[in-house]
Amino acid sequence: MFNIYCPYCEEHREEEEFHPSGQAHLARPADADACTDKEWGDFLYFRKNPRGLHQELWQHTAGCRKFFNITRDTVSYQILETYKVGQSPQVKLPEVKLEEPRHG
């Protein structure tokens, strides 16, 4: 069970106070109406799901109710950093090769 540092409360708190909200830094397309079905589908459903370092969004639901980001290793479950929404992570993630998938 995780021990999570809330960057807003500036304390470590137990996982039970938090709720995970999926991949971090998912940006809603600025011009949603101009998106193709594929672009919209990518935003809606397709995720990095890495085995290793991952940036994810959590909410301090039982505490300050703020959303914030965590860089966490999805295998060792170690949390490398937590940072506020709008801030940039300090831990660099490995490059992932991603070609443009064809819509077949």
Partner 1 sequence: MEKILVSDQYAPDSLSERAEFGDINVPVVETALQHVNLRQVATRTGSGHGVSFSELPVTGLLVLRARSERAALQSALQTTVNIKLPDTLQSEVSVSSGSHKSVYCIRWVAPDEWMLSCPAQDAFDIETRLRSSLGGNSVAIVNVTGGYSVLQLSGQHANDVLKKSTVYDVHPQNFSVGKVVNTTFAKAQVMLRCVSNDEYELIVRRSFADYVWHWIQVASKEYGLSVSRS
Partner 2 sequence: MTRFSGFSLFKNALQHQENWQRMWRNPTPKAHYDFIVVGGGGHGLATAYYLAKVHQKSSVAVIEKGWLGGGNTGRNTTIVRSNYLWDEAAHLYEHAMKLWEGLSQDLNYNVMFSQRGVMNLGHNLQDMRDIERRVNANRLNGIDGEVLDAKQCQEIVPIMDCSGSTRYPVLGASWQPRAGVARHDAVAWGYARGADQLGVDIIQQCEVTDILVEDGAAIGVETKQHGTIKAGRIGCVAAGHSGVLAGMAGFQLPIESHPLQAFVSEPIKPILDTVVMSNAVHGYMSQSDKGDLVIGAGIDGYVGYGQRGSFPVIEHTAHAIMELFPVVSRVHMNRQWGGIVDTTPDACPILSATPVENLFFNCGWGTGGFKATPGSGHVFADLLAKGRPNKLAEAFSMFRFYDGALIDEHGAAGVAH
Partner 3 sequence: MVDLIQGRYVQKNRLPSGGRINRDKILTFRFDNRYYKGYEGDTIASALLANGVKVVGRSFKYSRPRGIMSAGVEEPNAILQVGSTEATQVPNVRATEQPLYDGLVCSTVNGWPHVNFDVMSLLGRIGGNMMGPGFYYKTFMFPAFMWETYEKFIRRAAGLGRAPKERDVDSYDHMHHHVDVMIVGAGAAGLSAALAAARTGVRVMIADERSEMGGGLLHSTTSIDKLPATQWVAKVCHELDGLDNVVRLSRSVVNGLHDHNFLTVNERRTHHLGDQAPEGVTRERIHKVRAHTVILATGAHERPLVFGNNDLPGCMQCSAVSEYIRRYAVVPGGSLVVMTTNDAGYQCAFDWHDVGREVVAIVDTRANADSDVIAQAKQREITLIKGSAVIEARGQGRVTKAMVASINADGSFVTGEPRTLICDTIASSGGWSPAVHLSCHTGSRPRWRDDILGFVPGETHEQVLSAGGVAGTQTLSACIQEGIKAGTEAAAKCSNSSVADAMSAPVVEDELHAPAMALYLVPHTKAPTRASKQFVDMQNDVTAAGLQVSTHEGFESIEHVKRYTAMGFGTDQGKTGNVNGMAIVAKTLGQSIAETGTTVFRPNYTPVTFGAVAGSHTGALFDPKRFTPMHRWHVEHGALFENVGQWKRPWYFPRQGESMQDTLNRECVATRTSVGILDASTLGKIDIQGDDAREFLGRVYTNAWAKLPPGRCRYGLMCGEDGMVMDDGVTSCLAENHFLMTTTTGGAAHVLNWLELYHQTEWPELDVYFTSVTDHWATMTIAGPNSRALLAKVCSDIDLDKDAFKFMDWRSGSVAGVPARVFRISFTGELSYEINVPAHYGLHVWEALFEQGKEFDLTAYGTESMHVLRAEKGFVIVGQDTDGSITPIDMDHAWAVANNKPFSYIGKRGMQREDCLRPNRKQLVGLETVDPAVVLPEGAQAVRNPEQSIPMTMVGHVTSSYYSANAGRSIAMGVIRDGINRHGESVFFPLADGRTIEARIRNTVWVDPDGERQKS
User: Which residue ranges make up the site for partner 3 (CB under 8 A)?
Assistant: 1-3, 14, 19, 21, 28, 31-33, 35, 37, 40-41, 43-44, 57, 59, 61, 65-67, 75-79, 85-86
- The contacts found for 69-77 with CB under 8 angstroms, 24 or more apart, are 69/24, 69/25, 70/4, 70/24, 74/50, 75/51, 77/2
Q: Per rule CB under 8 A, is residue 29 in the interface with partner 2?
A: no
Q: Per rule CB under 8 A, is residue 63 in the interface with partner 1?
A: yes
92 binds, among partner 2, partner 1, partner 3, none (CB under 5 to 8 A by kind): none
